[in-house]
Amino acid sequence: MKSREIQLVRRPTGLPQPDDFKIVEVELPDLGDGEVLVQNVSLTVDPYMRGRMIDRRSYVPGFQLNETLTGGAIGKVVESRHSSYREGDFVESHLGWREGYVSSERGLRKLGELQAPASAYLGVLGMPGMTAYVGLLDVGELKEGETVFVSGAAGAVGSAVGQIAKIKNCTAVGSAGSVEKVKHLVEDLGFDHAFDYHDGHLERQILAGAPQGIDVYFDNVGGDHLQAALNCMRPNGRLPLCGAISQYNATEAVPGPNNLAIAIGSQLTLKGFIVSNYNQRREDFMKDMTEWVVSGRLKYRETVFEGIESMPEAFIGLFTGANTGKMIVNLT
């Protein structure tokens, strides 16, 4: 069997370009004992991958040029020489941007019976959903009745953050990048207030939805949003720092918030986190989130591209506002 795969051939400067990537076709090896052949059905592109395209020391090693990019994928076993895997089993891997692969059980997670479409396990029931869950409840220490502001609220993480806040009887305010997304947040997802950040006046917009101020600011974007949120924080507020998408493509250092000293008098806590360090909460997350998704209390939307060749476009779209909810690439 052949697999088409996406490789990074040039490190992006600023916004990634299609030419930074190339598609290659490889012949998959024959199965050895204990190995399975998997055909991917759903692939994910995520903002954090942009950081890995830079050649620098970080919490995860950078991508190498001319090697196939890695990342979350849901696939189906099509041939098995491993006693625990049968043809038709769904598996999650982190092998990423390829149509298929041969693997031992190392690095595979069996998904068991799916309770939602396969792609949901890359989004609301996967890494982005768990990021929202631990970021809000553990890092943000959300308490009943508090007010949450989340930026990038129409994204995979942000939309889950706002809805978890509502499930926890909190007020949810969100910012997004278009009128349609704002409408979606309020009408479909139950946010109490949402606004288009292109309209400016971030601080005034936040306070319109949170006149008493914010207890938790879930930061997906950094930059202006963080500065505005700092001005709106209530005493003892918490700011889980999850992403800085506004800066991922910056070619020069971006000035930070000029009002960080507010954190002193208001006793604010800014806390960066990476979801992989909260694996002890995985079981709670899967239990709660599956229940919320299956019961319809927590909704999710996907922006779907088709075919392995569309992965660069889908990835670039993360930074141009092309997605509402999780960005997914399905293979047929």
Residues near a second copy (CB under 8 A)? 51, 58-60, 222, 226-227, 235, 241-244, 247, 253-274, 277
Residue nearer to a second copy on the CB measure, 139 or 153: 139
The answer to whether residues 215 and 148 touch, using CB atoms and an 8 Å cutoff, is: yes
**What minimum distance in Å lies between the beta carbon of 243 and a second copy?**
7
Q: CB-based contacts of 86: which residues, under 8 Å, 6+ apart? A: 77, 80
**What minimum distance in Å lies between the beta carbon of 242 and a second copy?**
7
Q: How many CA atoms lie within 13 A of 157 on its CB side?
A: 30
Residue nearer to a second copy on the CB measure, 65 or 254: 254
**What minimum distance in Å lies between the beta carbon of 30 and a second copy?**
39
**SS3 letters across 136-161:** HHHHCCCCCCCEEEECCCCEHHHHHH
Residue nearer to a second copy on the CB measure, 74 or 244: 244
How far apart CA 71 and CA 209 sit, in angstroms, is 36
How far apart CA 318 and CA 324 sit, in angstroms, is 9
How far apart CA 33 and CA 27 sit, in angstroms, is 19
Position of tokens 């479909």? 188
Residue nearer to a second copy on the CB measure, 8 or 245: 245
**What minimum distance in Å lies between the beta carbon of 9 and a second copy?**
25
Residue nearer to a second copy on the CB measure, 13 or 169: 13
Neighbours of 273 (CB within 10 A): 16
Q: Which residue type occupies 73?
A: A
**What minimum distance in Å lies between the beta carbon of 71 and a second copy?**
17
**What minimum distance in Å lies between the beta carbon of 171 and a second copy?**
22
**What minimum distance in Å lies between the beta carbon of 244 and a second copy?**
4
Q: 74-111 as b/e, with b when 16 or more CB fall inside 10 Å?
A: bbbbeebebeebeeebbbbbebbbbbbbbbeeeebeeb
Determine if residue 141 is left, alpha or beta; phi over 0 gives left, psi from -120 to 50 gives alpha, anything else beta: left
**What minimum distance in Å lies between the beta carbon of 206 and a second copy?**
17
Residue nearer to a second copy on the CB measure, 264 or 295: 264
Q: What is the DSSP secondary structure assignment for residue 108, as one 8-state letter? A: -
Residue nearer to a second copy on the CB measure, 254 or 294: 254
As given in the structure block, the two tokens for residue 244 are 């800085």
**What minimum distance in Å lies between the beta carbon of 274 and a second copy?**
6
Residue nearer to a second copy on the CB measure, 165 or 268: 268
H/E segment holding residue 89:
none
**Which residues lie across from 326 on neighbouring strands?**
302
Residue nearer to a second copy on the CB measure, 218 or 305: 218
| Pairing between β-strand 2-8 and β-strand 193-196 as defined by DSSP bridges | unpaired
CA-based nearest residue to 149, from 185, 198, 188? 185
